[in-house]
């Protein structure tokens, strides 16, 4: 999640001060994203230095003066580019669980069957938690949150199917032998004569004759 572009998107709606941005952030983003007020303040400061936002001081008799931020033309251009740039999700090609599974297959202290079983239990627990959140969510009032929960459900179900595939392939996987790295050359590499040196050698030989 990008705090920077989330704040720019909120400021595109209307100017707001830092505290108000934090409240809007929490009310709109129902996902488990914990953004501290200090992070919002530091992000706004960096965006101000970068010319993406500007602010005016709002004076108040019953509260401290506040900086009311607004998006600049440069910030709006950055925001539009962000909206038009597709997001590439991480498909776990360097996933920690994958590494754990492969190492267990190669001879870890815990067999791969137990590694897969533990992962399955965790995935089912996560799926149960997400299902409960979906059950308690009103789709008429919280449709964006429902869509995110359904996305999580589909990913968890796909991970569970992958666990089943791994178990089906375990007999073959246990015969897997990783390729050996190429042997490291010892000693200093031989130096090849440059064309200039070969030419010098030929000239030298002819003069001695």
Give pLDDT, residue 22: 86
Local confidence band at 93 (pLDDT 50, 70, 90 cut-offs)? low
pLDDT in tens, 143-157: 888 998 999 999 999
The half-sphere exposure of 76 on its side-chain side, counting CA atoms within 13 A, is 9
Is there a domain that residue 183 lies in? Answer: no
Average pLDDT over residues 42-51: 96
Q: Is the pLDDT of residue 77 over 60?
A: yes
Give pLDDT, residue 132: 95
**Given 53, 84, 115, which residue is the final one in a domain?**
84
Give pLDDT, residue 30: 60
Closest CA to 119 of 97, 135, 134: 97
- Looking at residue 50, what DSSP letter applies? T
69 & 113 share domain = no
73 & 104 share domain = no
77 & 32 share domain = yes
Average pLDDT over residues 39-48: 94
Work out the percent of the chain whose per-residue pLDDT is above 70: 81
67 & 38 share domain = yes
Number of domains in the chain: 2
Task: For residue 79, give Cα distances in angstroms to 41, 55, 90, 142, 174.
Answer: 19, 18, 22, 25, 50
Closest CA to 92 of 114, 117, 113, 123: 123
72 & 105 share domain = no
104 & 147 share domain = yes
Domain that holds residue 106: 96-173
The answer to whether residues 33 and 70 touch, using CB atoms and an 8 Å cutoff, is: no
Average pLDDT over residues 90-116: 85
Q: Decide which of 60 and 133 is more confident.
A: 133
48 & 116 share domain = no
pLDDT in tens, 158-199: 999 999 999 999 999 888 887 777 777 776 666 665 555 555
């Amino acid at each position: 999640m990008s705090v920077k572009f989330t704040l720019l998107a909120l400021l595109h709606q209307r100017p707001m001060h830092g505290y108000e941005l934090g409240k809007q952030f929490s009310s709109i983003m129902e996902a488990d994203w914990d953004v501290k007020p200090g992070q919002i303040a530091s992000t706004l400061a960096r965006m101000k230095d970068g010319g993406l936002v500007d602010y005016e001081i709002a004076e108040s008799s019953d509260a401290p003066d506040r900086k009311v931020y607004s998006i600049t033309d440069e910030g709006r251009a950055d925001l539009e580019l962000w909206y038009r740039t597709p997001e590439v999700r991480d498909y776990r090609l360097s996933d920690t669980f994958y590494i754990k599974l492969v190492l267990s297959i190669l001879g870890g202290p815990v067999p791969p069957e137990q590694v897969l079983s533990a992962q399955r239990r965790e995935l089912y627990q996560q799926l149960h938690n997400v299902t409960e959140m979906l059950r308690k969510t009103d789709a008429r009032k919280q449709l964006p949150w429902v869509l995110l929960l359904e996305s999580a459900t589909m990913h968890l179900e796909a991970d569970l199917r992958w666990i089943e595939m791994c178990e089906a392939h375990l007999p073959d996987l246990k015969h897997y032998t990783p390729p050996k790295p190429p042997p490291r050359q010892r000693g200093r590499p031989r130096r090849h004569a440059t064309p200039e040196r070969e030419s010098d050698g030929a000239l030298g030989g002819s003069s001695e004759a």
